[in-house]
Amino acid sequence: MKNLSLSIRVSPELREKAVEISAGRGQKLTEFIRQAIEMSCTTTHDDAAQDAVQTDYSAVQGVVQDLTAQLSVKDEQLSTKDQQIERLQSALDQSQQLQALAEQRHENQRLQLEESQRPKPLMARLKAVFVAE
């Protein structure tokens, strides 16, 4: 591809400074200006890419922070649910113990009722009447 020419206007001070720098480097003025333009274009492109990467990184950091906060909330909720389950299990255990006691009491009363309704031998009846307990 054929190179194109570029004409620009600069202040005398800027031109003088560019001539001094190019002479100090042992370059022609046009070569110095060409390198400066290339560096500027490359740096601008790299800066834009770096800015895009930085923006993406910041967005990812924001998402990670949001997810971390949500995870923390979920952990707290899970802990609360575990405590509720423990309390419900304890209440269920107590309920089962009370049910077992009630059934045992009911069985004892039924046995006592059967015992009281069974005919007693004559000696046991006499003993119950004449012997004080």
pTM: 0.44
Q: What is the residue-averaged pLDDT of the chain?
A: 87
Q: How far is CA 102 from CA 27, 92, 96, 109, in A?
A: 107, 15, 10, 11
pLDDT at 44: 59
Q: Note the pLDDT tens digit of each residue in 40-93.
A: 877 656 666 677 777 778 888 888 999 999 999 999 999 999 999 999 999 999
**What are the residue ranges spanned by the domains of the chain?**
12-119
Give 6's pLDDT tier (boundaries 50, 70, 90): confident
